Structure 1
Amino acid sequence: MRDDLGCAPRTIDAYGRGLTAYLVFCATHLIDPISAGRDDIALFVRDLTDRPSFRPRSVAEHGAPSFPRLSNATVQQRLTAVRLFYDFLVEEGLRISSPIGRGRYAPGGRAGVSRRGLMPRFTHLPWIPDDEAWDAILTVASREPIRNRTMLALAYDAALRREELCSLRTDDIDPARRTIRVRAETTKGRRERVVPYSAPGGELLRAYLAHRSTLSRARGPLFLSESPRNWAEPLTLWTWSKVIRRIALEAGEPRFSTHTLRHLCLTDLARAGWELHAIATFAGHRSPDTTLQYIHLSGRELAAKLASGMAQIHDWRIALLAATAAGSA
């Protein structure tokens, strides 16, 4: 149903894995998922927060030390999948009500009781490289083939997500106006947008197009694989992720990911003084709340408020000194 409704394939995959985890949990604890209650949901939440994120085969054979636990975002995502499952059961008449609300729960449902989430939701600012880390990344990236350097440049210039970047086609590029058309079907919010790219990015793109013509002269996907197994085939998301991971490890910055360039671009726009709605339009955000994190990360508003507040305090103190001096005279 979600596929028919046009949800992104990776979203469907994530929901499927989340629902599978819940059904496995129910089978393990002899719980009927159709008739499960809030106490069973609470037990599932405890199971999610207490277990490791993965359990390799070697654990059973040799005994394993501690492993990283599921992240808060993963737990929230799995609860969303379970909530959608019970919403479906209610709609189909298999249940009267859902045992899991939309992230809110009050014990016993008593009136006047403060409602809280099933799980506290942590909101972390995205990591972006500082100048030293960026220099290390650029040093490694400068040795990359022209295709990879072009992709890095466009990912930053246009704040492109991984799927948006890898799905670009030759007819999405307008060299005369130096713009990129990001098609709706490739975006997270299903909203088409047109974004510019820089003159240096244009030089890299021109060089790459000349190189691409040696692989294929056919119009279509912009970035092509040069692997002997997939020669001149469209570059996959996973191949691009492996490229970025290799660069990150070689540069000594393991937190650098395919999404980091988007974060860095939007933060730089906030630092440059772009208004909230302009950054949201550039990024293709549906909600300004998503865009606000880049404003906060840039520190622009906080710095402006601090400067304004300090100026007022400074004037007030000087005014007091002036009044004291006049009284003494």
Structure 2
Amino acid sequence: MAAFVKELATRPSRRGGNVVVLDSGAGLANATLQQRLVPVRLFYDYLIEEGLRESNPVGRGRYTPVRKFGGHQRGLVPRLTKLPWIPSEQQWLDLLDVAREEPVRNRVMLALAYDAALRREELCSLRTDDLDPAHRTLRIRAETTKTRRERVVPYSAATGVLLSGYLTHRATISRARGPLFLSESRRNYGQPLTLWTWSKVIRRVGLAADLPRFSTHTTRHLCLTDLARMGWELHAIASFAGHRSTESTLTYIHLSGRDLAEKLNRGMQQIHSWRVDMLTRAARASEAVAE
């Protein structure tokens, strides 16, 4: 098992240079390492049930408060939980400079991905009848979402202008109703844009802006973090994002630092007031002694 875990931790990714983030330091993310160990753990559980083994060598990372029962049992691979990466203001501006040179389809897709905090599949699966230009909203169908829950999300007026321009351009490719975003390559002209094509577009734009960590999910992270920075309530962000549980939404609250900043400001105000009060008392005491 030790040799297997070591091999997982050093195994190069099959995607090679297309890897965006190397959480494991080798090409397999920490979550991927955990997934590789699950079937092995279940197999040993089966052997124990069949009476062929007495113990499972793949630890679950459980904690037992009573020391005599084993205390803390560490997993073979430590479970890491990291905050999602988002670009700084300058990095975002650099990305937009590169995006301005992209075709109108790519620009409107990037705008919608941020504006409506869309996942890659939700964005690429949009259809013409999902649009409501009168109210500037999108219908995200349940079958395209991660949680299988339909929702309606708004988009900004600026994105609406881009979308209007794209719809005019789309009419030169196909006037048929159906998938909103169409391929313009010679090989798949007029066919629905695939997830992989959009990933390649984002990868190319990110590299051109010197942001190799930029991915199709970065715009969603950035939008939800910005909503948290603006003071949106937790349940409102969860509803907008289509999260089944607010536990997922808490990530963006933490990433924004909103709550921590508010607590810091309140705490610093109290400390500042206390220090000023103490200085004032000291000054008054000095004046009294002088008199």
For normalisation by structure 2, the TM-score amounts to 0.84
Residue of structure 2 equivalent to 1:266: 224
Q: Does the 8 A contact of 2:235 with 2:246 survive in 1?
A: yes
Q: Which residue of 1 aligns with 2:204?
A: 246
Aligned to 1:151: 109
- Once residues 222 and 282 of structure 1 are traced to their aligned partners in structure 2, the CA distance between those partners, rounded to angstroms, is 21
Q: Quick check: 1:44 aligned with 2:1?
A: no
Q: After alignment, is 174-183 or 281-290 more displaced?
A: 281-290
Change (3 A) 1:246 1:115: same
Structure 1 residues 166 and 69, CA, compared in 2 at 3 Å: closer, same or farther?
A: closer
Count residues in correspondence: 275
Indicate how the Cα distance of structure 1 residues 86 and 227 shifts in structure 2: closer, same or farther if over 3 A, else same.
farther
Aligned residue among 90, 95, 104 for 2:61:
104
Give runs of aligned pairs for residues 194-273 of structure 1, distance below 5 A.
194-273=152-231
| Matching residue of 2:259 | 301
Q: 5 Å matches for 1:45-194? A: 45-49=5-9, 51-54=10-13, 68-83=26-41, 99=56, 103-105=60-62, 111-194=69-152
1:86 offset after TM fit, Å?
Answer: 6.7
CA offset digits 1:87-120 (Å, max 9, x no partner): 7x59x9898999477943579x962522333321
1:225-278 superposed Cα distances (whole Å, 9 cap, x missing partner): 111211111100011011111111112211111111111111111111111121
Give the match's secondary structure for 1:229: coil
Structure 2 CA distance for aligned equivalents of residues 281 and 222 of structure 1: 24
The question of whether the paired residues in 1 share the 8 Å contact of 2:59 and 2:73 is answered with no
C-alpha distance in 2, partners of 1:266/1:95? 50
Does the 8 Å CA contact 1:174/1:180 hold for their aligned counterparts?
Answer: yes
CA distance in 1, matches of 2:192, 2:50: 45
Determine the C-alpha separation between the residues in 1 that align with 2:184 and 2:167: 14
Alignment RMSD (CA, Å): 2.9
Q: How does 1:7-46 map to 2 (within 5 A)?
A: 40=1, 43-46=3-6
Cα gap change, 1:321 to 1:55, in 2 (>3 Å): closer
Unaligned runs of 5+ in 1: 1-39, 57-66
Alpha-carbon displacement from aligned partner over 1:108-140 (angstroms, at most 9, x marks no partner): x96252233332111222221112211221111
Larger displacement relative to structure 2 (248-257 or 235-244): 248-257
Equivalent position SS for 2:179: coil
Amino acid at match of 2:7: D
Q: What percentage of residue pairs aligned between the two structures are identical?
A: 65
TM-score, structure 1 normalization: 0.75
Q: C-alpha separation between the residues in 1 aligned to 2:167 and 2:54?
A: 57
1:208 Cα shift? Answer: 0.9
Contact 2:60–2:73 (Cα < 8 Å) also in 1: no
**Following the alignment from structure 2 to structure 1, what is the Cα–Cα distance between the partners of residues 148 and 86?**
26
Q: Contact 2:137–2:152 (CA<8 Å) still a contact in 1?
A: yes
The offset of 1:187, in angstroms, is 1.1
The code of the aligned residue for 1:47 comes to: E
- 8 Å contact kept, 2:59–2:74: no
1:201 shift after superposition: 0.6
Contact 1:103 1:119 (8 Å CA) reproduced: no
Identify which of 282, 285, 290 aligns with 1:324.
282
